[in-house]
Amino acid sequence: MPSLKTRAPRASRSAQLVEITDLSAGLDLRRSPTLVAENRARVMRNFALSEPGALVVRPGYMAFSSNSLGSLRIQGGQRAYLASTQISLVAYDGAVYELRDAGNINSTAVYSTISPTNPVFFPYDRTLVAVMDGANRPRKSTDGISWQLMGLDAAVSASTLSSVAGGSLSASEFEVSFSYKDRGLAHESNISTFLSTRLLGATGALHVEVPNSTDPQTDAIVLYARNKTAGETVLRKVSSAAVQGGLSSTYRITSSGWSANDEAPTNHNAPGAYEFGVVWKNRWWAKSNVVGNRLHFTELFQPQSWPTLFYIDIPFERGDEITALISQGDTLLVFGQSKVFLIIGQTSLDFEVRPSAGAQAGCLGPRAVEVIEQGVLHASAEGLFVFDGASDKLLSFDMEPAWRDLVRNSASTALSVVDLVYEFKNKEVRVAVPRVYPRGSRGELVLDLNRTRETETPAWTDTDRDIVGYLHLDGDEPVAGNRGRLLSWPSSGGRVFEESTGTTANSSNMTAEYEGPHVSLGLHRARLITVRGEYEPHAGALTIEPVLDEVSQGSQSVSIGAGIAQYGSAVYGTALYGGSGRRMFANMQPLGAEGRTAWMKVTYSGQEAFRMFTYSMEIVPESAVRTFSD
C-alpha cells in the first residue's frame, strides 16, 4: 500500500535529502497537508498531468475570433453538423452570429429575434438546427445562415367553395379544408381551424379558393375533403399544388377517389418557447418554459410537429425541475437538481419512465453534463459524478473542499451555467466554474483521465481561465486538423478563444503554480540547508519559495534560460557532453530556515512548455527532542 505522506527524515546530525520524485499525480485538497502523498500537490494551477514524472506547463490558448461583438457575454454556442454542412453558431445580445472557421465572427447577424439575456441553445439533427431561448418560439435553419419559424401555423380562415361543371363529383354535401406545406422539408401544418362545406345539386366539381400564408417558407397548399352524404367521417388528402401569386390560390376538385389517401393532419402543432432540447429516438425533446418538470416531444420523424398532448411530466420531488437532458443509447437521462429519471425506449414508439435508484445526485444546468466512454458525467451540488446507467461514482472526492466552496459561495444563476466538456484530444474533462478554491475567482477544474487510469485515483488540476462556455468541434470535420478543436468564450466580451493551442496565454506569459506536499519533521525541529531541483531549460522565469512552519523563506529566482549550456550541447575541447536536456539547480537557504514542517512553492512565468521533474530538500534535524515548550 502506498504511503500517504512524504518520507520522514531520521533524527541525525548529518544532512539528509527528502526527495519528491514525482510531481504529476494531481491535487489532493481533502487530506491534511502533511498526509498528502509525495506525488500529489496542494496547488497545481496551469500545469498539466499529461506526462507522468514531469510537471508540464499546460498548453496555452489564443484568440480564435479576430473581432469582438462587444462587451457582453456570449449567451451560447454550438458546432452543428447537418447532412452536408458544418457550421459554428454563437448567440450574443439577442442575435445569432456565424463563427467562421477562418477565425472571425460575421459581424452581420444571421438571425436577430431571441432573448438578449437568457442562455441560448442550438439542438440539431441531420437536417435542421434550431435556436431555443426559453422566451421565443424556436427558429430553424438548414444551413445556419437562413432562418425561419420552426413549424408552420395553420390557417385561421376557411377556404371559399363554389360549384362548377366539368367534374365527376356526385350530388352530395362535401367538407373541405387545407394545410400549408414546406416542400423542401416535407413539413405540413395542421389543417385550417375553420372548415368549408358545399352541397352539390348535380354531378360536377368544386372550385376552391384558399388564402395564402404570410410565412415565406410555405410553397404549397394541400387540400383535404370528405363526402358527408356518403358517411365519410375523416378528411383525406385530395391533392397538393404550388402556392399561386396574390392573396389567394385557386384549385379545382373534380374527383372523390380519396378513400385510401392520408388523413388530414391535426397534430402538427408548432413548438412552444422551449428552454433547451435534444434529439433522441427520431424525435426532438425539449423542456417547457412554463412547467418546470414538463418534457415535450415531437411526432416520429417530424421535428417540426409538436402535438399538444405529447409531453411527460417528470415526477420530481421537493419542487425540482428539469435541469439537463442527454441521451445514451436506448436511454434518455432527464436530470433535476437532485435526481435523475430515465426514459427508456426499445423502439421509437414505446417509452418507459423510471427513477434511477442508483444515481446519487442531479445536475447543475443544461451544459454541466457530458457523455464519456459509456458513461455520463454530470456536475451537481454534491460533486462531479459519472453515471453508468445503474449507479453514480464520485470523481471529485479529493476536490471536496473546492467543490463545497464553489457551491456554498456561488449564486444559483452562476451555477446553472457551469459548463463541462470532454476534450478527447487531450483526454481531459474540463469544468468551467465561477469560483476556484482557494482563490475565489473564475477558472476550470480539470480531470486528466489518462493519469487517473495509471494512479487509479482521480487526477485533478485547475486553471485560471475565465470561461463560461465551450464549443467543441467533435463531429464529421472534412478539413484536416479541425476535429477535436476546442473553443471557449469568457464571462464578458463577445469574443471566442481556442483552447489547448500553443504555449502562451494569448501571446502573453503563462503563469503556472505548484505547492507540494508538506513534509512533517515530527517532534524534531530541522534546519533547511539547500533546495535542489531538476528541470528542462526554457526561456521564462522560475521562482521557488520554501516555507517552514508557514514562514516563507522568500521568493528565490532560478536561472532556467534556454541559453544555459546543457547536457547534449555543451562542448569541452572537441568532445560533446552526452545526456539529455535536463539541468539541476541548488539554492542555499537562510540560516533562519528551520521548523517542524517544510514545503515548497514553485512558480513559472513564460511562453514555453517548461518541465520540472523533481526536487529535494536537504535538511539537518535536531538529534534530540527539545525538553521545553516553544
| pLDDT tens profile 234-290 | 999 999 999 999 999 999 999 999 999 999 999 999 999 999 999 999 999 999 999
Residue type, position 190, single letter: N
Strands 428-436 and 597-606: unpaired
* Among candidate residues 276, 278, 209, the one with its CA nearest the CA of residue 246: 209
This prediction has a pTM of 0.92
CA atoms within 13 A on the CB side of 74: 30
Dump pLDDT digits (tens) for 440-472: 999 999 999 999 999 899 999 999 999 999 999
Asked if residue 426 has pLDDT above 70, the reply is yes
* Among candidate residues 605, 586, 613, 610, the one with its CA nearest the CA of residue 537: 610
CA atoms within 13 A on the CB side of 162: 7
Do you find a cis peptide bond into 438, omega within 30 degrees of 0?
yes
Dump pLDDT digits (tens) for 357-405: 888 899 999 999 999 977 999 999 999 999 998 899 999 999 999 999 9
The pLDDT-based confidence of 555 (bands split at 50, 70, 90) is very high
Q: For the chain, first and last CA: distance in Å?
A: 36
Asked if residue 10 has pLDDT above 60, the reply is no
Residue 404 phi, psi dihedral angles, 5° rounding: -65, -40
Cα 76 to Cα 87: distance, rounded to the nearest angstrom:
14
Residue-level pLDDT at 8: 55
CA angle 515/519/520 to nearest 5° reads 140
Dump pLDDT digits (tens) for 82-109: 998 999 999 999 999 999 999 999 999 9
